[in-house]
Amino acid sequence: MSLSPARLDRFARHIVIPEIGGAGQVALADKHIAIIGLGGIGSPALQYLAASGIGRLTLIDDDVVDVSNLQRQTIFTTRDVGHGKATSARRWLANFDEALDVEISDSRISADNAGRLIEGADLVLDGTDNFATRLAVSDACVAERTPLLSAAVGRFQGQVGAFAGHLADQPCYRCFVGDAFDAEDCDTCADDGMLGAMAGWVGSFAAMQAVRILLQGVSAFGEPQFGKLHILDGMKPGMRTLNIAKDEACKGCGVPR
C-alpha cells in the first residue's frame, strides 16, 4: 500500500517524525478501529483518530444528540440536536476527510451483538458510560482476540487503560473491575458532571494510545502498554500509572479450570 501525493501532504507532519514515519502512516491507513460511544470521550478521540489517517472506522452509538452534550462532545453542533450520534458523527467525518471508510451502527451494544459489531477491527476504543456495556465489550474483545482501550471520565478525573486479555500474560478489563458490575442495578454510572476540557484531555490521550497500539511492530512509537491504567487528574493537574494484574480466575480471560 502507498499514499497518494495528496495524502502525503495531509500527513506530512506525521511522516517527518521518526517514531511514525512513512511506514507508520501507511500502516495507519490500513487499520480498522471500532469506537463504541461517541460522547465525551468518543467525540474528541474520533477527531484525532480521523486526523491521524486511520483508514477505516466503525462508529457505534444508539443515542441521539442533546443540547447538554455540546459542552464536551465536540463533533456535534446545534443542528445535530435530536439526530442520532452515529449518523451525525459520520456526517462530520465526511466533511473532514472523504477518503475514510466509515461504518455506523445505532444499535445498543450488548453481550448478544458486541462480537458481531467489533468483528474485524484491529482495536476497540470503549468510551461508554456504564459497566455492564464495558464488560460485554471486554468479553467480546477477548473472544475476537482484539485489543481494547477503555476510557472513562467524570468531573476532573479520567482514566485510560489498554487491555489484551486474549494474550496469555495480559489482563482484560474484567480482571480490573471484577464481575459485580454485570448486574442490572449497576448498569449506569452516577452523573456528577464533567469539565468539558477534561473530556477532551482524556479523549485525545486515548487517541494517542490507540495510535501507539496500532503501530506496534511497525514504528518506534513505543510499547502498547497493555495492562497499564493511566489516571488523569485535572485538579493537580497530573497523571499516574497503575499496573493491572491478570486474574487467572477471571471468567472473561482466565485459564479454564
Question: Which of these is catalytic: 141, 172, 175, 189?
Answer: 189
Give the CB-side neighbour count of residue 94, counting CA atoms within 13 A: 8
Residue 257 above 60 pLDDT? no
pLDDT band at 129; cut points 50, 70, 90: confident
Query: Structure pTM?
Result: 0.93
What's the rounded mean pLDDT across residues 57-85? 96
Residue 59 CB contacts under 8 Å (≥ 6 apart), including other chains:
35, 38, 42, 46, 86, 89, 90, 102, 103, 104, 105
pLDDT over 70 for what percent of the chain? 94
pLDDT band at 15; cut points 50, 70, 90: very high
What's the rounded mean pLDDT across residues 146-174? 96
What's the rounded mean pLDDT across residues 113-121? 96
Which spans in the chain are helix H?
A: 5-10, 12-15, 21-29, 42-51, 85-96, 114-118, 131-144, 173-177, 196-214
pLDDT of residue 190: 47
What's the rounded mean pLDDT across residues 203-229? 95
Structure confidence by residue, pLDDT tens digits, 74-87: 999 999 999 999 99
> What three-state secondary structure class fits 158?
strand
Q: Which of 92, 71, 96, 85 lies closest to 37, judged by CA?
A: 85
b/e map of 126-144 (b: 16 or more CB within 10 Å)?
bbbbebbbbbbbbbbbbeb
Is residue 189 annotated as a catalytic residue, yes or no?
A: yes
